[in-house]
Amino acid sequence: MKIQQQRFEGFLKTPFLWNGVLGDLQQFSIPLFQEKTTLNLDLSKATRLGNYVEQLVFYQLENTENIQILARNEQIIENKNTLGEIDCLLKRTEVPIHIEIAYKFYLYDDEVGGNFLEKWIGPNKRDSLVLKLNKVKEKQFPLLFHKTCKPLLKALNLNLLEMEQQTYFKAQLFVPYQKEIQLKQINSECVSGFYLRLKEFKSFVDCKFYIPKKLDWLIIPHTNVDWMDFKSTESNILEFFKKQSSPLLWMKFPNGEIKKIFVIWW
């Protein structure tokens, strides 16, 4: 349970990617951290990070005053085809809200064309912030208005015209090594570390390293892990690169300072 508590605390302390409205997406507001909140939840079946985070969100919502969860992870199906999923329907002080949940890791790549938001991409270049925002607006939110969603709303006694739609969107952001980035539109507190390429990584031979598994990306770095030397770590990184995967590392400097970094394959 200790490691699950560490993940939970890391999740709670992760800031929302923006406050208020971004574009036309309203962020759900909830206290970032509840002191001495102990996780009492079986997460053994949640093996994917996205699903794991959803369960943590539901747990947080259930333990927050004036919030009543009405439905979660509702599959919207038409003629045996799954159109998508409604993450969460709830009432907050009797206001009905449809919430879509996201917890993402993005890197700022100045070489990507477009505006500031378009430069935030996934560590393996397979997704991006703008793609996710568009998916919420163009696919996930409209699901609520699809005809196949009517029976669900009726069963929950919800009036579609009274419902609000909001995001629960947290993120860890990583900026290029030794570059200053002026964050606009999004929360600068989300910056969790930096990223670099292997040739830059080679300058940290005096450091120690730890490569957490995906679910442990939530955890705030600490010293009580099995640290590896540079040579062993570099060997592990090359194995990730063979799969076109950019590993997340904890890097401990000789002075004891710990940083969270990505070493990118691209």
Per-residue pLDDT tens over the stretch 154-195: 999 999 999 999 999 999 999 999 999 999 899 999 999 999
Of residues 1 and 137, more confidently modeled: 137
As a whole number, mean pLDDT of residues 64-90 equals 94
Dump pLDDT digits (tens) for 225-249. Answer: 999 999 999 999 999 999 999 999 9
Q: Would you say residue 35 has pLDDT above 60?
A: no
164-176 and 25-27 strand pairing: parallel
Of residues 262 and 39, more confidently modeled: 262
Name 6's Cβ contacts closer than 8 Å, sequence gap at least 6: 216, 218, 219, 220, 222
The residue whose two tokens read 């690169």 is: 241
Q: Would you say residue 92 has pLDDT above 90?
A: yes
Percentage of the chain surpassing pLDDT 70?
98
Distance between first and last Cα of the chain: 36
Q: What is the pLDDT of residue 188?
A: 97
Q: What is the pLDDT of residue 4?
A: 94
Of residues 137 and 45, more confidently modeled: 137
Q: What is the pLDDT of residue 34?
A: 60
User: How far apart are alpha carbons 154 and 109 in whole angstroms?
Assistant: 45
Of residues 72 and 33, more confidently modeled: 72
Name the pLDDT band for 33 (thresholds 50, 70, 90).
low
Domain positions in the chain are 2-192, 197-263
Q: What is the pLDDT of residue 30?
A: 87
Q: What is the pLDDT of residue 32?
A: 64
- This model's pTM is above 0.85: yes
Name the pLDDT band for 1 (thresholds 50, 70, 90).
low
As a whole number, mean pLDDT of residues 96-122 equals 97
Q: Would you say residue 128 has pLDDT above 60?
A: yes
As a whole number, mean pLDDT of residues 101-127 equals 96
As a whole number, mean pLDDT of residues 110-133 equals 96
